[in-house]
Amino acid sequence: MAKALEKVFINCAVTGSIHIPTQTPYLPKTSDEIAEAAIDAARAGAATVHLHARDPQTGQPKPDVELFEPFVRRIHEESDVVICITTGGGLGMTIEERTRGVQKFKPELGTFNMGSFNFGLFPVLSKFKEFKYDWEQRYLEMTRDFVFTNTFKGLEGICTIFRETGTKPELEIYDLSHLYNTAYLVEAGYLDLPVYFQFIMGILGTMGSSVENLVHIKNTADKLFGNDYVFSVFATGRHEFNMCTVAAIMGGAVRVGMEDNLYLAKGVLAKSNAEMVAKMKHILEELSFEVATPQEVREILGLKGKAHTNI
């Protein structure tokens, strides 16, 4: 069984690299927008924030450390929230590009994608006749013939980066095979127990959002890792809040935010990440769960603390 959480923690993914600005006017793009979204999400109850960078003019996902730096430092200075920087980056980026943020800032947490898979965003094309920026249509179309590549060589190299930076990896699990990849990396000495999983549901090309799939993947994690893991869950789109609720009931943590979902309710665009965090917190408290603080999450996950980052 996964390590039991006495309190549920909320992770907020504030902008990501999946959604395009045409889909919503509220998607954070600039450094100030990303920083304010993260800080407000923390005030609303998020204990960790997951960060990507975008071109401030067009909103296109970018790997440039220079784009990360202003909002990462502002969040660090103005909030106690745990900062989690992506190594997933944006579609089409190299591993070197994807890992720049973790190597530069040595954050407390960093995401780590645990295997290769088809990553399909192209169905969004049918929902719009016009796009706000030139890059958006090309970005979506390229995913018809795109594999998000995470080979064993790449995984081993990223493990070394996490070891060198002292950053705790948040292991992104999109499919059952990724648990077995993790087990190999643990057995081979690249990863240390206990591990922290993020179970991801609903990306086209990976496992769908269903209670049955979540139960199956958690049962497999139990068999492979016993109580040497903590898990969190997010589901894309309309399944976000219901799958997160199930995850909490099953003993896990939860993730919400505009990286994964743009709607607060059916037909209602979320105007901020903080709104989504507040809704999730309300659901948890209505079910008598306590929500963990950033410091409590540092203890749960065994993080090194803000003072030991390079932010």
Q: Is residue 5, in this structure, part of any structural domain at all?
A: no
In whole angstroms, what is the distance from residue 168 CA to residue 66 CA?
Answer: 23
**Tens-digit pLDDT string for the chain (311 aa):** 677 788 999 999 999 999 999 999 999 999 999 999 999 999 999 999 999 999 999 999 998 999 999 999 999 999 999 999 999 877 778 888 999 999 999 999 999 999 999 999 999 999 999 999 999 999 999 999 999 999 999 999 999 999 999 999 999 999 999 999 999 999 999 999 999 999 999 999 999 999 999 999 999 999 999 999 999 999 999 999 999 999 999 999 999 999 999 999 999 999 999 999 999 999 999 999 999 999 999 999 999 999 999 99
Q: Is residue 2, in this structure, part of any structural domain at all?
A: no
Q: Is residue 101, in this structure, part of any structural domain at all?
A: yes
Our count of domains for the chain comes to: 1
pTM: 0.96
Q: Is residue 179, in this structure, part of any structural domain at all?
A: yes
Q: Is residue 157, in this structure, part of any structural domain at all?
A: yes
Q: Is residue 123, in this structure, part of any structural domain at all?
A: yes
Q: Is residue 1, in this structure, part of any structural domain at all?
A: no
Domain limits for position 99: 10-308
CATH number at residue 91: 3.20.20.70
Residue from 130, 149, 142, 220 nearest 182 by CA: 220
